[in-house]
Structure 1
Amino acid sequence: MDMFNKVTAFLQQALETREPSINLLDSFVDNWKAITNYYIETTDESRPVKQTDIPWRLRQMLDILVYEETQQGEETGPCMEYLLQHKILETLCTLGKAQYPPGMSQQVMLFFSKVLSQIQKPVLHLINIYRPVQKLVHLCGLPDSKTETEESQFLFAVCTRVKKDPYVLNYILEITKDSQKRCGSTSDEAVEEGCSGASSPERAPSPPSPSSSAASSCSAQSGAHPSSSPQTATGIIPVLMHLGKSEKSRVMLRSMESLLLLVSLPQEDTGHLLADGTILCHLLAQRLTELYCLIPSSLDPADIHSYSCAQWRDQFTQDSTEESQSFPGSENVHRFFCFLDYCNELTKEAPRVLGVKMARAIHLQWLKGVIQPHLLQMSEVGILVHTALLSCSVRHIRSPALLEELVQFLLGSDTHCEQRQDTHSHILRYRLIEHCNHISDEISITTLRLFEELLQKPSKSILTNLVLRNLEKRSYRLPGSGVTDERHGVESDVLEESEELEEDPFFTDMYEDSGFGGQEPLLSLPSVRERHNPSAHTQVADIVNSFLCLVPQEAKTSHLVQGAGYDTYVHDAHKLLKECIALSRDWNWPDSAKTTESNPATDFYEGHFLQILFDRIARILEQPYELNLQVTSVLSKLAVFPHPHLHEYLLDPYISLSSGARSLFSTLVRVIGDLMQRIQHIHNVTDKLMMIRRQLMGLEEETMVDHVTLMKGVIVLEEFCKELAAIAFVKLPIEEQ
């Protein structure tokens, strides 16, 4: 019993002598006074802040504020009230600006960052919060700054808070009527500078020499403006763009993420605010132009074409950076395409009004201001490199707003039928199409690759501008002739051209051997009379066999090589067709061809683009192998699109062509006629063709063979005809449904 009483007495004494509970406000005030007393009492101004107790005191104050918020709920606690009433953040901002003690600015920025990120209640709308935040933003991005890491963390905290509470964006941007006027005038001047020399492209200056860096010629065209400097353009946007150029990858990443947070605010009014109240669009386009101008013009176009698509975060990963260093100048190429992808991301995530304005600024400053003069210059080396860079850029662009501006830049917006003499309505478009038929085979190949990249973009206007506007009236057909399902009752003289083809000894000879690939028989070929009211199967057989039988048997070699059969092309055509159907699903193309009127035929012109492609196909027997591959690749891309007029013009061998018109099939027929004349004078032509094919496949070492260009042309021609037959095979059943 005595022991029990002693324990009870001991516990009672402990309770009576326990330390009284800590008052949060007193502790907060004590920590703040300890900081202010340091400035009163200290005499050593060179002592670094980390050797004082200031960082510890600031951490204590932060912990108290966070703990108080969890205890107070919705109400503002006494410590936060004290911080606001006594303008503690204002004082800290002043101390950070003075850098006293040395390193104080880092501590201030860290404190601000943690307050903004750890306090959950909205605080940026309070004047004693956003005013010091504005002042601290002005201290960021200064020349030779030693605090870039802390600055990027602070700005990221600000942008994260704005993302959470979008209504405070106006406080952070510090937008006034005067600043809106300045930003508007800056945008206007950027437009004028971006367009100078571009509106009259014939007189656009050329780079001083093909091998020199593009930077000198770009600097005069980039639309630079003095307000792009963070010293003359205040606010968070110029600072973020400035830090986005930092050599420290973490600072650069944080800054780019911060800008993306601001731009991706979904409200339309914030989009208008950023578009009209800041120089964001101008700075973004200017940065893209700067990076493009750092790319050396001595690059090998093959290296550019082999460059894989980059994502903007790739530049911050060690492995990706090392992999990109594969050719001279690849670092500059990688940085440019990473930033182009970043522009993609910004314009996609931004509200429409902002995304469109950013894309427009990029169009004016980069595309028109820099790329266009290079494409219109006389130097073949310059044309080659910049066309390759543009082709790679087309592959990278995914943003709808950017793609729309790109198409407008390259092709214009004309939708009426082209005229042969119309070569000045859009000079760049016409010049690029001309480059597909350039005296330099390399330029032709590179430009054809550019158009092939364009044909893979989800833009209806590309197909309309290049091809479909010229086929809309179907004036390539003889007046009175109809589509396949309208042939019933048509007089036989309308199909005179088709009858002549079947009765020609050249064509009847081709049908004697109906084997293909050594395995597959051709589909049964109906007569002209049967085609007056054909079934779907008959139409498939009709068209597919027409392409498969074009190349004479003695010039065929694919059936002698394993894995080069027709089945492979059918599989690839199915895949391409699915992609094109998915691409054009929302383009509202008609399901069937437009009915033609029986009025007199108008002169048909296929348009500049198809004219060049057909001219190139007509010379397939005398052109380099790589060029032939590229021409046929572009035509195959066109043929697979599910538009009835495009299908009819490129894949129907039996359309009755109007006077002076030509189709893809009629062009190939003339090539075959030329081929038949040439191979008659070549001994053992099949053996030589087989040797060339095996060399192209890497199965034999290259040796000297007579007529090698012709032989390679024949091989490409055979493969192209199989490809067209496969495309027709997979498309016709769909169109007959």
Structure 2
Amino acid sequence: MLSRLGALLQQAVEAREPSVDLLEAFTEHWKGITGYYLEATDESTPAKETDIPWRLKQMLDILVYEEKQRPAGEAGPCLEYLLQHKILETLSTLGKAEYPPGMRQQVLLFFSRVLGQVQHPLLHYLNVHRPVQKLLQLGSDALGSGTEKEEVQFAAVLCAKIKQDPALLPYLLEGKSLLNGKRPAELPACPEGEGGEHPQGAAASIPPAGKAGSSPAAEPSPPRRENNLITSLVGLCKSQKSRVALKARENLLFLVGLAQEAAAAQLVQRSALCQLVTEHLCALYGAVPACTDPADILALERASWRSQGDAGGDGGFPGKESLAAFFGWLDYLEELARGAHPVVADAVTEAVCEKFFRGVLQPQLLQMSELTILRATAVLTGTVRQIRAPALLHGLVLFLLGPERQPEAPGARCHLLRTQLIEHCNHLSDEISLASLRLFDELLRKPHEHVPYSLALRNLEARGYVQRGPPAPEERASHEPDLDEDALELEEDPYFTDGFPDGGFQPSEKPPLASLGRSSRSDGQGHVNEVVSSFLCLVPEEAKTSSCVEEAGYDTYVHDALGMVQACRANAASWGWPPAPRPLDACHPEAAFYEGHFLRVLFDRMTQILDQPYSLNLQVTSVLSRLAAFPHPHLHEYLLDPYLNLAPGCRSLFSVLVRVIGDLMQRIQRVPQFRAKLLLVRRQLMGLVPGEQIDHATLFKGVVVLEEFCKELAAIALVKVPPEGPA
């Protein structure tokens, strides 16, 4: 009986002892830390060689053990002691002083472990989030410091806490104003003396998005540039330590992806997120050497924000590492805009457009210096290639092309940059023309409806290029421009017809272009065959050489054409394009037809195909092929219908090709051994024979491109379902 009573008494004593012993042990360890500063004489002794790390670890273990012994949500005496005696405040001050050396590292570790392992909500307390802010203030004071690993771990713990409770975000976006005792209006009052918790948590700290502008007090203040969680993360994103930078970037992506609109508004209005990430982009671009070869810029493989510092290996060119860093950060912004809340994505996009596109790139693109234009155009092309996020892509497209949707007028300059970029496609410098055409080729690949609409479709909506009725003979004679007169002359010219096979363009076999109407559309498949045949027979036999070499037939283009058409269809699937052309009686052109600045420049370039450099011809035809692959019926009609009844003064792609063929047929007569030399040039271009100087090489290369382009257009027409619409 006595032994049983003694056991009960022992259990009772053991049940009460831990709380007393834990608090005593906790205070003893804290006094041991403060005592070090009273007794230490050697200021050079590193913190890790003192007992401070051990005592901090013991204090952490006590807090965690105490919490496990108590009901959920109830603060134990050790935690209360931590809050009431402002231990975290004192530790943050010691970390700032960096005494003993390495103390900041120990403090960051302790904060991270306490916030990560103690389940009781802590960041609502003023005596917690104020020292947290103080540590964040220290985080970006010396980039490359030895505490980056601990800093990013600390920031990751804070992000995890925000994931659990997004209402904590405002407490971690405050900077010096909070440290200086100025409590912002959006933070609820907090009992300081007792370290009390904010009433109702932090739910009231973020105003509803719909009420943000309901009163003057609720209007967003300008984003502050004070150090806080965002500035700390962005600073760590720039770290030379790849693991630190990667972890910081991942946590920043998590923050901007918070689903709550109120949290997104806080990131935009109460932090310098947009300015910081954009300024870093501008700084990285500024670090790219001005002498970097534009060809190297375009040849650089797509950069990834995850592979920091992997571009400076062997075989690189001067400036490759800087260029890779720029495109890597651009890829990160693309990822950020893709995964961010729409409020954040739009704000980041606006900052990038304002600071980088309009502030940095546009002045360079509008310069007179050819080297500057080439470099800026190459960077812009790489930027277009890199960006896929809808918000950033939309901002980029409007920056390049402007928002205008109405048909163009000849000579109008509504959007300066668009006008200048298109004029660059017809620049005196072939290099600038080539670079600008590459830019538009890349732009036409992007899944954005405004690109083909702004460049071409806006001028084709009313189908003003179609002849409305049979013109009177005197009208045609008096109003038709030189272009159509030339076309008629070519059809009557013996050089134009003699060079074609019997089944080609003989007047008895196919009606002249101007007289063949829409009646040929009665048989859909038959019409497709006629279109294909028209393009394949366009080049005269004297100028054809693909049949003389292996694997150079028309069928080689079908596979590639199918892939391009399918890609264009996939991009345009959600654009609501009509399946057939608008009826002519519903089209009312307000002015004489104008193909628009872009198509005019492309057609002008096509007329010079026999006199232009080979690479330039390839790029012009590439852009036209991509336009022809789009599934809009007006584009299909205007670019791929050889039998289109053109209105007086209008030209189509086929009519331009007809004029080029007429010019070619006259040149054939003036060049001796034309076909043999042409075949030699084709073999040289295919790498079958060594290259050697030959007269009229530009002409021969132009003829090869012309033949291949006609085959490509035929393949595109074949794989597209031709729109059948009203006459």
Tell me whether the two structures share a fold, i.e. TM-score over 0.5. yes
Give 1:372's aligned amino acid. Answer: Q
Tell me what 1:76 maps to. Answer: 74
User: Structure 2 vs 1, CA of residues 599 and 280 (structure 1 numbering), >3 Å: closer, same or farther?
Assistant: closer
**Over residues 50-104 of structure 1, what are the superposed CA-to-partner deviations in whole Å (9 max), with x where a residue is unaligned?**
1111111212222333344445462335233332333321221122223232221
Q: For residue 62 of structure 1, what is the amino acid of its counterpart? A: L
Q: Which structure 2 residues correspond to residues 433-444 of structure 1 after superposition, within 5 A?
A: 433-444=422-433
Is the Cα–Cα contact under 8 Å of residues 498 and 656 in structure 1 kept in the other structure?
A: no
Shift of 1:730: 0.6
Cα distance in structure 2, aligned partners of 1:599 and 1:40: 92
Matched, 1:691 2:680: yes
Which amino acid in 2 is paired with 1:366? F
Please name the residue that 1:258 is paired with: 251
Q: 1:488 is matched with which residue?
A: none
What is the rounded CA distance, in whole Å, between the counterparts of 1:331 and 1:84 in structure 2?
Answer: 48
**Residue 688 to residue 513, structure 1, CA distance change in 2 (3 Å):** farther
Q: 1:392 aligns with which of 350, 374, 382?
A: 382
1:201 is aligned to none
**Unpaired segments of 5 or more residues in structure 2?**
1-6, 186-221, 471-484
* Residue 146 (structure 1) shift: 4.4
CA contact (8 A) 1:573 1:723 kept: yes
Alpha-carbon deviation of 1:136?
1.4
- After TM superposition, the structure 1 = structure 2 runs for residues 412-491 of structure 1, keeping only pairs within 5 Å, are 412-423=402-413, 425-480=414-469
User: How far apart are the structure 2 equivalents of 1:627 and 1:179?
Assistant: 63
In the alignment, is the contact (CA less than 8 A) between 2:60 and 2:110 conserved in 1? yes
Residue 214 (structure 1) aligns with:
none
Deviation at 1:566, TM superposition (A): 1.4
1:77-92 mapped onto 2 (5 Å cutoff) = 77-78=75-76, 79-92=78-91
* TM-score calculated relative to the size of structure 2: 0.83
Determine whether 1:340 maps to 2:330: yes
Q: Is the 8 A contact 2:377 2:435 kept in 1?
A: yes
Q: What is the correspondence of 1:221-620 to structure 2 with a 5 Å cutoff?
A: 233-316=226-309, 320-323=310-313, 326-423=316-413, 425-480=414-469, 509=498, 512=501, 531-532=519-520, 534-597=522-585, 602-620=591-609
Q: 2-side partners of 1:380 and 1:671: how far apart?
A: 30
Quick one: distance in 2 between partners of 1:309 and 1:248?
21
Query: Conserved in 1, the CA contact under 8 Å of 2:346 and 2:391?
Result: yes
Q: Tell me how far 1:507 sits from its aligned partner.
A: 6.5
Which whole-Å CA distance do the structure 2 matches of 1:605 and 1:156 have between them? 58
* Residue number among 667, 680, 691 corresponding to 1:702 in the alignment: 691
Contact 1:180 1:278 in 2 (8 A): no
Q: Is the 8 A contact 1:417 1:470 kept in 2?
A: yes
Once the two structures are superposed, residues 635-663 of structure 1 have per-residue CA deviations (whole angstroms, 9 ceiling, x without a partner) of 00100000000000000011111111000
Shift of 1:237: 2.4
Q: Deviations over 1:102-135 (max 9, x none)?
A: 2211100011112223334443223332122112
- Displacement after TM superposition at 1:31 (Å): 2.8
Instruction: State the one-letter code of the partner of 2:694.
Output: V
Following the alignment from structure 1 to structure 2, what is the Cα–Cα distance between the partners of residues 443 and 475?
Answer: 32
The Cα shift of 1:603 comes to: 1.0
SS of the aligned residue for 2:466 comes to coil
| Structure 1 match to 2:217 | none
Amino acid across the alignment from 1:550: L
Moved more, 346-355 or 135-144: 135-144
Matching of residues 98-117 of structure 1 within 5 Å: 98-117=97-116
Alpha-carbon separation, structure 1, partners of 2:183 and 2:233: 18
User: How far apart in 2 are the matches of 1:450 and 1:607?
Assistant: 18
CA–CA distance in 1 between the matches of 2:675 and 2:166?
A: 73
Deviation of 1:537 after TM superposition, in Å, equals 1.1
Cα distance in 2 for partners of 1:417, 1:154 equals 56
Structure 2: distance between partners of 1:116 and 1:37: 25
- How many equivalent pairs are there? 651
Q: Report what 1:32 is aligned to.
A: 30
C-alpha contact (below 8 Å) 1:324/1:334 kept by paired residues: no
2:667 pairs with 1:678: yes
Amino acid at match of 2:113: K
Q: Indicate if the aligned counterparts of 1:479 and 1:601 stay in contact, CA closer than 8 A.
A: no
CA distance in 2, matches of 1:599, 1:130: 67
Instruction: Provide the C-alpha distance between the structure 2 equivalents of 1:33 and 1:315, rounded to a whole number of angstroms.
Output: 45
**C-alpha separation in 1, matches of 2:75 and 2:308:** 44
- CA deviation map 1:191-231 (0-9, x unaligned): xxxxxxxxxxxxxxxxxxxxxxxxxxxxxxxxxxxx99x9x
- Answer whether contact 1:692 1:711 (CA < 8 A) is retained: yes
Q: Distance in 2 between matches of 1:557 and 1:710?
A: 14
2-structure distance, mates of 1:705, 1:614: 28
Contact 1:510/1:552 (8 A) holds in 2: yes
Q: Alignment partner of 2:301: what SS?
A: coil
Secondary structure at 1:315 match in 2: coil
Instruction: Please name the residue that 1:518 is paired with.
Output: none
Aligned-partner residue type, residue 108 of structure 2:
M
SS of residue matched to 2:139: coil
After superposition, give the CA deviation of every residue in 1:584-608 in whole Å (9 maximum; x if it has no partner): 1111111110111387994111000
| 1:286, distance to aligned residue in structure 2 (A) | 1.3
Structure 1 residue ranges without an equivalent (≥5)? 1-11, 182-226, 482-495, 516-523
- The 8 Å contact of residues 294 and 378 in structure 2, kept in 1 or not, is answered as yes
Letter in 1 for 2:463: R
CA, structure 1 residues 25+506, in 2 after alignment: closer, same or farther (shift >3 Å)?
farther
Which residue number corresponds to residue 651 of structure 2? 662
Percent identity at matched positions? 53
Q: Secondary structure at the match of 1:554?
A: helix
Answer with 19-28 or 295-304: which moved more: 19-28
1:631-688 CA-to-partner distances (Å, cap 9, x unmatched) read 0000001000000000000000111111110000000000000000001122332221
CA distance in 2: counterparts of 1:74 and 1:122, whole angstroms = 11
Between the aligned partners of 2:95 and 2:697, the Cα distance in structure 1 is 76
**In the TM superposition, what whole-angstrom CA distance separates every residue of 1:439-463 from its partner, at most 9, and x where no partner exists?**
1000000000001111011111111
Task: Assess, with a 3 A threshold, how the Cα gap between structure 1 residues 668 and 733 changes in structure 2: closer, same or farther.
Answer: closer
Query: Using the alignment, how far apart are the partners of 1:97 and 1:732 within structure 2?
Result: 71
Query: Deviation per CA, 1:269-325, whole angstroms, max 9, x where unpaired?
Result: 111111112222122221111111111221211111111211111115xxx334586
Residues in 1 aligned to 2:373 and 2:22: alpha-carbon distance in whole angstroms:
71
Distance 2:567 2:712 in 1: 16
Please show how residues 703-718 of structure 1 align to structure 2 within 5 Å: 703-718=692-707
